[in-house]
Amino acid sequence: MVKLKSNDDKEFEVEEAAVIQSEMIKNMIEDGCATSVIPLPNIDSKTLIKVIEYLNKHINMGKAAETGEEDDLKEFDEQFVNMGWEELFDVIMAANYLNIHELMELCCQSAADRLKNKSVRAVREMLKITNDLTEEEEQEIINDAPWAFEGPEIDDTVN
């Protein structure tokens, strides 16, 4: 077992087989740099719990393919990314820091899926982004492909 410590000083025990899906921790263990408790100063306990949940579920990914549990894993992934934008941001940053490739892929894909067909206004509102482009800069891009900004498929809702 490997102990991980979040930045709010909570410790979590994780099986080594699960935790080595993190390239960063795998390297630490291989290089003999892993202390009895690995501190993760960039990750809070709420996010770490999510990440560990993912690691534990994906521990036997290779096996899942053999035993036909892929659908189960897919369903888990779908449920897993069912979170708000702020939480998704935290998990992406944690996955990036820990270097968990599959989790990064999953989260980035989820972010992209949520942006599909959204209007610019909706994206800004959902992600709390302030527009800092000048009107000219904005218009320049719109003029490149005006068809991308109009049409019945454009979704202006913020769900």
- Binding residues for other proteins, rule: CB under 8 A, are 85-86, 89, 92, 96, 101, 104-105, 108-109, 111-112, 115-120, 123-124, 127-133, 137-138, 141-142, 144-145, 147-151
Cβ closer to other proteins: 29 or 120? 120
Q: CB 148 → other proteins: shortest distance, Å?
A: 4
Question: Pick from 37, 20, 21: which is nearest to 29 by CA?
Answer: 20
C-alpha pair distances (Å), 135 with each of 17, 21, 102, 146: 52, 45, 38, 15
Q: Residue 79: which H helix or E strand, with range?
A: helix 70-80
Type of residue numbered 94:
A
Cβ closer to other proteins: 15 or 101? 101
Cβ closer to other proteins: 2 or 95? 95
Q: CB 91 → other proteins: shortest distance, Å?
A: 12
Q: CB 98 → other proteins: shortest distance, Å?
A: 14
Distance CA 61, CA 69 (A): 9
Instruction: Give the three-class secondary structure for 51.
Output: helix
Cβ closer to other proteins: 34 or 108? 108
User: Are the C-beta atoms of residues 49 and 11 closer than 8 Å to each other?
Assistant: no
Q: CB 36 → other proteins: shortest distance, Å?
A: 31
